[in-house]
Amino acid sequence: MQRAGDEDMKKCLLCVLSAVLIAAALPVSAYGYPETALPDTASWETAPEGFDAGELERELRERMGAGEDTGDMDILPEVSAELMDQMAQMQSIIHPVPKIRWDEGESMVYYTLPNEEYFSSSIPNGMLTTRPVTFLPMKNARTTVYRSGMKITPAEDGVYGQPGNYRINLLVLPGGGQNGDSSLYEIDFYFSIIPEVSSQVSLLTAPEGFYIDRLERDQTALKPENPRWHFLSRDGAYRVRFVHEKLDGMTFETAFVRDTKAPLLSFDPAPDRYAMNRTVHVAVDDPAAAVEMYYNGKPVSMVLSTLEIGGNYQYRLTDSAGNERYYAIKMADRFRMPGPGTIMITCLALAGAAAWLIYQRRHPRFL
């Protein structure tokens, strides 16, 4: 009977941890939001109540302090039978619906869980911004941060400024709340940081619980296609204001420039499908664009604006928004670069001529 009970507890524990691992592996869309919409109500895994949350928290903290991954399945044989019994009776809540509060003085959004624990952020969940984001988790939460799908180290000061699509996963351990709640909570928080000039934004989506109140392009008001989203079909300077659906006065704004046009390179005269047999002048329409040049497949440290020597030339142009364009042109062999042997023979000939002149100056009778 005791062996059967242990097997049941192990199965229950595996179910709880499997749900946590599956939720942490949810895919993220290109705009930093989950591809599956968050549920309106929390999802639950219930089990009988009654375990020492403090003991569980201490055990997990000791394992984390020792550098162990408490979410890894291979630690299960090391967990004591008593701890397994406690975890088997634990209630796990995935994606709870927190209460939201805006502190205008601190410029922070507070999210409070049912156990009265809270975390805060400088922007709401699902926001698109060009500014650094401050995210402060609760002390008893295990925090995992992903940027554009890659796991990164959580910021010590809670400030994230590198462009990318972020997902912050919080595993809130029981025992930190003030109402005796012994649940294990898991939260996913999403946001995206983009450069002020970007080519990657094609869809605007309101943060969770917000709607698009005002949208401008080049200082001209636009009507959103939907209160929750709007497709960007043209380049320009955009400004959007989001308003919370229930809380008065809770608004956020985002401003950025959408630029999808790659820089241009002009040739004079214009190249044709044959090798050019006369001098070609090259110019870039965007002085701020980065230009890379290759000659016969090898990079050139100094970009040439005048092409005269025969060979194959390639150009790669990149602007501040990340747009790229490639060019290639072939020049006829009117002028050939001297080879190493030719250079060596020329140097020897010049050295011999110099020696002969010096000798003649010292022996004028031979002049």
User: What pLDDT does residue 347 have?
Assistant: 84
CA distances, 292 to each of 58, 144, 307, 352 (Å): 56, 38, 15, 41
Please tell me what DSSP assigns to residue 259.
-
User: What pLDDT does residue 58 have?
Assistant: 56
- Work out the percent of the chain whose per-residue pLDDT is above 70: 70
The predicted model scores a pTM of 0.64
Give the mean pLDDT of 3-18: 51
Compute the mean pLDDT over every residue in the chain, rounded to the nearest whole number. 79
User: What pLDDT does residue 350 have?
Assistant: 84
**Distance between CA atoms of residues 263 and 336, nearest Å:** 31
Could you tell me the pLDDT band of residue 125, with boundaries at 50, 70 and 90?
A: very high
User: What pLDDT does residue 278 have?
Assistant: 86
User: What pLDDT does residue 41 have?
Assistant: 38
Residue 299 has pLDDT above 50, yes or no: yes
Q: Do 319 and 263 meet the contact criterion of CB atoms below 8 Å apart?
A: yes
In 3D space, the residue among 225, 227, 222, 224 whose CA is nearest the CA of residue 210 turns out to be 227
Q: Do 93 and 181 meet the contact criterion of CB atoms below 8 Å apart?
A: no
In this structure, of 223-232, 282-291, 327-336, the range with the lowest mean pLDDT score is: 327-336
CA distances, 90 to each of 8, 46, 234 (Å): 14, 7, 52
Q: Do 13 and 76 meet the contact criterion of CB atoms below 8 Å apart?
A: yes
**Distance between CA atoms of residues 114 and 256, nearest Å:** 36
CA angle 203, 205, 208 (to 5 degrees): 160
Query: Which residues, including other chains, have CB under 8 Å from residue 130's CB and lie 6 or more apart?
Result: 193, 194, 195, 196, 254, 255, 256
In this structure, of 33-37, 252-256, 295-299, the range with the lowest mean pLDDT score is: 33-37
In 3D space, the residue among 49, 350, 298, 31 whose CA is nearest the CA of residue 167 turns out to be 31
**Distance between CA atoms of residues 255 and 271, nearest Å:** 41
The pLDDT tens digits of the residues spanning 22-48 come to: 444 444 443 443 433 333 434 444 333
Give the mean pLDDT of 279-306: 90
User: What pLDDT does residue 333 have?
Assistant: 82
In this structure, of 53-57, 109-113, 238-242, 243-247, the range with the lowest mean pLDDT score is: 53-57
The pLDDT tens digits of the residues spanning 165-216 come to: 999 999 988 765 556 667 888 999 999 999 999 998 999 999 999 999 999 9
**Distance between CA atoms of residues 90 and 173, nearest Å:** 11
Q: Hey, what are 215's tokens?
A: 């949208």
The pLDDT tens digits of the residues spanning 136-157 come to: 999 889 999 999 999 999 999 9
Give the mean pLDDT of 241-260: 94
Give the mean pLDDT of 257-264: 94
User: What pLDDT does residue 345 have?
Assistant: 83
**Distance between CA atoms of residues 44 and 207, nearest Å:** 24
Task: Give first-to-last CA distance, the chain, whole Å.
Answer: 120
User: What pLDDT does residue 79 have?
Assistant: 44
The pLDDT tens digits of the residues spanning 41-100 come to: 344 443 334 444 455 555 555 555 555 444 444 444 444 455 455 555 566 777 888 999
User: What pLDDT does residue 47 have?
Assistant: 38
Q: Do 325 and 264 meet the contact criterion of CB atoms below 8 Å apart?
A: yes
Strand order in the sheet with 118-121: 99-103, 108-112, 118-121, 133-136, 159-160
User: What pLDDT does residue 140 have?
Assistant: 85
The pLDDT tens digits of the residues spanning 223-238 come to: 999 999 999 999 999 9
